[in-house]
A and B are shown apart, each in its own frame.
Chain A
Amino acid sequence: MSELLGLGFWQRALVAGVVLAVLCGCLSVFVILRRLAFIGVGISHSAFGGVALGFLVGIDPLWTGIVFSAGVALAIEWAQSRGHIEEDAAIGIFFAAAMALGVLFLHLSGTYNVDVFGFLFGNILAIGERQVVQILVVAVGVLAVVGIFFKEYVFISFDEEMAWVSGVPVAFLRALFLVLLSLAIIVAIYLVGIILVSALLVIPGAAARNLTGHLRPMLGVSVGAAVGATLAGLFASAYLDWPSGATIVVLLSLLFFLSTLWRRGQ
C-alpha cells in the first residue's frame, strides 16, 4: 500500500476519484428525486460527440464536451417543454444522434491513436495535474451553485407547479441543473468513462434513499456510498489489475442491492 501511495499517478487518481465521488454523490440525490436518471444517460452519451469534436478541431475535449452535452441537454429540455415530443423520446433521439456524430468526427479527424477506450470506460490512472485541477474547479463550482439554490431544488423536486406559483424561476433552475449535470458528467468521465458515468449519478442516490427517509442524511449516505465505492474500487482494481472504472461501478451496484435487501428487511 505504501509504495502505491508514493506514486504520483496514484495520488492524483485518489484525489480526483474522491472529489468526483463527492460531486456525483450530491448531484445523485437530485437526479433520483427529480427522476433525471435517463437524461443523465443521454447527457453522458452525448458527451462522446463533444469529445470527438474536440479531437477533430484540436481543442481540449473537456471544453467541446461540456458545450456539446450541455447543448444537447438544453435542446432536449426545449423540445419537450414546447410539447413537440415526449421527454424520453427526445433523449433517445438526441443522444443516439450525438454519438453517431462522435463516430463521424473521429473518422474525419483521422486520429486513430486517440484513447477512445479510455473515454468510453474511464482511465483515472492516466490523468495529469491539469485534469486534477479541472476536476477540482468544476466540483467546487457546481457544488457551490447547488448549495445556493438548494432549497429551490428541493422545492422543484417536490412539486414543480407549486414552486412556480410561489415565484420560483422553475424554467431557469431546470436548465441550470442540466448544465451543472453536464459539467459534472464531463469531468466524471475521467473516472468511469462515458458509458458508465450515469451509474455514478444514479446509484449513490438510489441506495441512499433505500437507507433513509430524510434529506440531509440522504445526502450524507449518497456521498459516503460514492466515496466508499470509489476508494474501494481504486484499491481493488490496483491489487487485482482490473479496470478501475468498471470495478467502482460494480461495487456501487453491489451497495445498491445490499441497501435494497436492507430496506426489505425493515
Chain B
Amino acid sequence: MTNVPAVQLDHVWVIYQQRPALEDITLTIPPGRYVGIIGPNGAGKSTLLKVILGLIVPSRGEVRVFGEPPARLRKSGQLLGYLPQKPLSEPRFPVTVLDVVLMGRFGRIGLGRRPGPRDREVALAQLERLKIAHLADRPIGALSGGEQQRVFIARALAVEPRLLVMDEPTISLDACAQDDLFEMVFDLKRELDLTVLVVSHDIGAVARHVEEVVCLNRRLYVHEPPPIGRLALESTFGCSVEYLFHGEIPHRVVRRDE
C-alpha cells in the first residue's frame, strides 16, 4: 500500500463552458507529504481540490486517490478529510460543536444508523486534540472564526482520514493564527501519518510550513530541482512576485502556458 501514490492525476482537463479551468494536469503526490498548492485567484486551485475529492468529474484524464477513482473511494467514507473554503454557510444553523464533529463520522456509520459510543469517543478525542473540548456543547455559530476553523478540522479528522484536503483554511484568520494553523496541521500530519493538501493564495504563509509547493495557474509546469525562482513564480501569478522566502523547499511549479 505504501507505494501507491496518495494522489495521482494523469493529463486531467476540466473545461467549463468551453473554457479550460485546468489544462493537462499531471501530478503525483506520494503518501505522507504536506503539500501546498498556490496560485492566483481563478487559477483553478479549488477546482483541482474538487477533482481530487471527486466533486468535479474531469472532462478528460484520470484521477486516482490511493489507487481508486475518488467517486468510488467516497462511498467508503473513510479516507478523505475535507475542509471546505466556507464551511459554515448559515451562522444560525442549530447544531452544537459536537454535532458538527460527529458529522465527520456519518460516512463510516452508514445510512439510517445512529452514531454510537465509539463515534462519540472519536469526535470528543478530536475536540480534545484541537484543544476545544470545552466548546463541545456550544452552538457552532457562537464561536469565533479561529475556533470554528478548529471545529471543522476536528470534523475532517473524525473521518480518521489518510488524506486531509484544506481549501484556503487561513482565509478568516489573522497572521499569527495562520502560522499556528499551518504549524498545528504539520504536527497532526506527523502524528496521524496523513497526506495533507492545502490550497492557499498566500505564498508566504504556505511556503514557510509545507514540505512541497505546487504552483498552479490552470496549467502545470514541473520545475525541478530547487530553488524556486522569482521568474517561475512570476509566470505563475502573471505579475511580479515580492515574497520569496522558500529557497530550500523542494517544489513544483504550475504555470500558464502562453
Contact = CB atoms under 8 A, between A and B. Distances in A.
A19 to B, nearest CB: 24
A56 interface: no
B95 A215 contact: yes
B84 A161 contact: yes
Contacts of A165: 53-55, 74, 80, 82
Interface of B: 53-55, 74-77, 80, 82, 84, 87, 89-90, 92-96, 99-100, 103-104, 106-107, 109, 111-112, 114-115, 139, 141, 155, 159
Given A161-B55, A166-B159, A213 B92 contact: yes
Query: Secondary structure of the A side of the interface?
Result: helix
| Interface size classification for chain A | 20 to 34
A155 interface: yes
A84 interface: no
A218 B94 CA distance: 8
B76 A167 contact: yes
B103 A158 contact: yes
A242 interface: no
Given A161-B84, A213-B92, 7 more contacts: A33-B94, A152-B112, A154-B99, A159-B84, A161-B82, A164-B74, A165-B54
B80 A149 contact: no
A212 B139 CA distance: 11
Interface string A194-220: 000000000000000100111100100
Interface string A128-155: 0000000000000000000011011011
Question: Which of B53, B100, B112, B155 counts the most A-chain CB atoms under 10 A from its CB?
Answer: B112
Given A166-B106, A167-B75, A167-B107, A158 B95 contact: yes
A149 B94 contact: no
Contacts of A158: 93, 95, 100, 103
- The 9 A-B residue pairs with the shortest CB-CB distance, nearest first, are A167-B77, A166-B107, A167-B107, A148-B112, A215-B94, A165-B82, A213-B139, A167-B74, A166-B77
A168 B54 CA distance: 13
A162 interface: yes
Interface string A152-179: 1011011101111111110000000000
B93 A33 contact: yes
A227 to B, nearest CB: 20
B87 to A, nearest CB: 6
Nearest to B115: A151
Given A33-B93, A215-B94, A169 B111 contact: yes
B99 A215 contact: yes
Question: Which of A155, A166, A169, A212 counts the most B-chain CB atoms under 10 A from its CB?
Answer: A166
Interface of A: 33, 148-149, 151-152, 154-155, 157-159, 161-169, 209, 212-215, 218
A168 B141 CA distance: 24
Contact of A155 (B75, B89, B103, B139): B103
Nearest to A217: B94
Contacts of A215: 94-95, 99
A149 B90 CA distance: 21
Given A158-B100, A209-B94, A163 B106 contact: yes
B53 to A, nearest CB: 5
Nearest to A166: B107
Question: Which of A33, A148, A165, A215 counts the most B-chain CB atoms under 10 A from its CB?
Answer: A165
Contacts of A159: 84, 87, 89, 103
30 contacts: A33-B90, A33-B93, A149-B111, A151-B114, A151-B115, A152-B111, A154-B95, A154-B99, A154-B103, A157-B93, A158-B93, A158-B95, A159-B84, A159-B87, A161-B55, A164-B55, A164-B74, A165-B54, A165-B74, A166-B103, A167-B77, A167-B106, A168-B107, A169-B111, A209-B94, A212-B94, A213-B139, A213-B141, A214-B96, A215-B99
B94 A151 contact: no
Contacts of B55: 161, 164-165
Contacts of B103: 154-155, 158-159, 162-163, 166
Nearest to A164: B55
Contacts of A149: 111-112
Nearest to A34: B90
